[in-house]
Amino acid sequence: MDDGLKQRLVGALVLTAAAVIFLPVLFNREVRRPLDATSQIPPAPGLVPLETREPVRPQGIVPAKDPEEMFQPKEPEPERPVQKRLDPQGIPVSWVVQVASFTSTARADKLRERLLADGYKAYTRQVNTAKGPAVRVFVGPKIDKASAMAVKQELDKALDVETLVLRFRP
């Protein structure tokens, strides 16, 4: 047989088989598949209610108050006026700690920067003394002398110096 004829016959058989399989599907549109209406959700588990008992309190422990009693707002305390101590010129009385006194501004600025880095409120002031101009390094001011004394003790230990507590002069 001729090869071309064989190929034509095989092609005709494949087309016929495809037509036999797919043509009924195309023309039979009334085929309805039944829908499975059974649920895939498992039934609810049988839960047994849990019985609770009253708590057993050890001797000497008082139960907490009811929430209505416990969370009542307190009456606000009357505001007390802030007592500011003023000197005769009307300036608040406050205190500073003199840490050091330098003839060199650069050394004073270096110490001030170190104190600022350590969290202290430090500043410098230029003064004229009998020995000539000087730059003093201060920490503060503090409203009460006790807190200035506490800072003095911290600085004495940290810097290994003897600091001074003085009245603040703006």
| Residue 73 located in a structural domain | no
| Residue 89 located in a structural domain | no
Tell me the CA distances in angstroms from 164 to 15, 79, 91, 122, one per residue in order.
112, 36, 21, 14
| Residue 110 located in a structural domain | yes
| Residue 8 located in a structural domain | no
pLDDT tens, 2-23? 888 999 999 999 999 998 888 8
User: Which two structure tokens, joined as six digits, stand for 55?
Assistant: 């708590």
| Domain boundaries, position 118 | 95-167
| Residue 74 located in a structural domain | no
| Residue 84 located in a structural domain | no
Q: Is the pTM of this model over 0.85?
A: no
pLDDT tens, 119-167? 889 999 998 888 888 999 999 888 888 988 998 898 888 888 888 888 8
pLDDT tens, 50-86? 888 887 778 888 878 887 777 777 777 666 555 567 7
| Residue 58 located in a structural domain | no
Tell me the CA distances in angstroms from 36 to 29, 33, 39, 44, one per residue in order.
20, 9, 8, 21
CATH number for 145: 3.30.70.1070
Question: What is the model's pLDDT at position 14?
Answer: 94
- Number of domains present in the structure of the chain: 1
123, 138 Cβ separation under 8 angstroms: yes
What distance separates the 2 farthest-apart alpha carbons in the chain? 135
| Residue 48 located in a structural domain | no
User: Per-residue pLDDT for 107 more than 70?
Assistant: yes
